[in-house]
Amino acid sequence: MKTTRSKQLFAEAQRYIPGGVNSPVRAFRSVGGQPLFIKRAKGSRLYDVDGNSFIDYVLSWGPMILGHAPPSVIKAIARAADDGTSYGAPTELEVRLAQMITEAIPSIEQVRLVSSGTEAVMSAIRLARAYTKRDQIIKFEGCYHGHSDYLLAKAGSGLATLGIPDSPGVPADFTRHTLTAPFNDIRTAQQLIQEHHRNLACIIVEPIAGNMGVVPPGEDFLPTLRTLTQAHGILLIFDEVITGFRVHYGGAQALYRVTPDLTCLGKIIGGGLPVGAYGGKREIMRMVAPEGPVYQAGTLSGNPLAVTAGIETLTRLRARGFYENLDQRAAELAKGLGAAAKKAGVPLTQTRVGSMLGAFFTKGPVVDYASAKQSNTQAYAKFFHNMLNKGIYFAPSQFEAAFLSTAHTDADIKKTIAAAQAVMKSL
């Protein structure tokens, strides 16, 4: 695999950009080596600046559910760009996307568009605190909800990859209202609620943890959280930035039949362009300015290009059998990877919800952040690089999900499984 140009660009990037990247996981720190610089992407494939081609299972960390550069989405973006790229004023497109979101996810009666998942979560928690007139929140260890100061406590994603428990630059006062519990540990969550319910504004959770690998919720975890929060007037926030429209058209909340008070969205609703959203019950959302006193604003919120891409993407997702077909492909890939590991005698714990896949190099079950961290990250690093050399691009971190798109063909999956069979033997 040629990497000359990527190495040159990485050396140059480090002169101007911290660590040479604009998001930490991209730096390949947890797997070693240097990142590849991508020139273009199409369908299921990435193409780097050295001319290498890869079957891509990162998919820009999830949003490319139709694959890269789907023609209908690209055409829609081009048409929208002809009319201008940003107005800082309302558009009909914003109304259409908001309508599609509320129709798909009944718990969202009103929705506010923003520019990122971090912004969506930050705004939703501010709203929850204002609505309940309480300060404290509960989050779960290993769940990543963006890089707002008070949420960088026992977070996953890049923090898990880099081994940073918290972030310097965050005053202690900012996180003193943030309580943490292990994911899937309803007993600890219940104890925290009993002790602090008079000052608890909300509980925020990834319904399927996607930032410590892929960790599904236990059977009673989400329903019990819903019962406990309702009993004490605490708002339940689902962070569906990854899972929204990924595991079901109605999100993970439709899959598990648990209704939150507020939902945060991102990724897929922008069709690969920067976007985020938060929404929920009308009586809560009416507190958002200009209708209410809770201030939140953004010059690029509801950007016409991102909204257009989102409308076209969601339209495609409504096709009959869309999620069933995607699930079938993901199941085939997971089965092949598992069989390859078993035949090679490599300990591998697999997790999957729809087209989100996790693979942990450990024997035991993975149910929370502590068990996820038992994975052999050195084995994963070797697996990653050997697969990369065979033209397969997985996430450069043990603690991230793999994703499938409708652009992945049977030939792609067969090639990936064949590569895994050879690579597992080397582990």
Residue 167, pLDDT score = 62
Residue 165, pLDDT score = 44
Q: Which domain holds residue 368?
A: 4-69+320-426
Series of mean pLDDT values for 10-residue runs along the chain (427 residues) = 97 97 92 97 98 98 98 98 96 98 98 96 97 95 81 51 54 79 95 95 97 96 98 98 98 98 97 96 97 95 97 97 97 98 97 98 95 96 98 96 98 98 96
Residue 150, pLDDT score = 64
Query: Distance between CA atoms of 211 and 204, rounded to whole angstroms?
Result: 14
Residue 161, pLDDT score = 39
Work out how many domains the chain is built from and give that number: 2
Per-residue HEC secondary structure of 228-288 comes to: HHHHCCCEEEEECCCCECCCECCHHHHHHCCCCCEEEEEHHHHCCCCCEEEEECHHHHCCE
Q: Which of 317, 332, 361 is the last residue of a domain?
A: 317
Q: Is the same domain home to 234 and 114?
A: yes
Q: Is the same domain home to 108 and 224?
A: yes
Tokens of 299: 């010059």
The domain that holds 193 is classified in CATH as: 3.40.640.10
Residue 162, pLDDT score = 39
Name the DSSP class of 320.
T
Active site residue 267: yes
Question: pTM for this structure?
Answer: 0.94
Active site residue 239: yes
**Catalytic residue chosen out of the listed positions 48, 239, 368, 412:** 239
Residue 68, pLDDT score = 98
Q: Which of 282, 317, 352 is the last residue of a domain?
A: 317
**Catalytic residue chosen out of the listed positions 144, 150, 256, 369:** 144
Q: Is the same domain home to 234 and 101?
A: yes
**Catalytic residue chosen out of the listed positions 139, 154, 267, 373:** 267
Residue 176, pLDDT score = 79
Residue 391, pLDDT score = 98
Instruction: Please name the helix (run of DSSP H) or strand (run of DSSP E) that holds residue 15, with its range, or none.
Output: helix 4-16
Strands of the sheet with 235-239, listed across from one edge: 110-114, 276-280, 262-266, 235-239, 200-205, 136-141, 178-182
Q: Is the same domain home to 355 and 325?
A: yes
Residue 166, pLDDT score = 58
Q: Is the same domain home to 126 and 186?
A: yes
Q: Which of 285, 317, 349 is the last residue of a domain?
A: 317
Residue 157, pLDDT score = 46
Active site residue 16: no
The domain that holds 412 is classified in CATH as: 3.90.1150.10
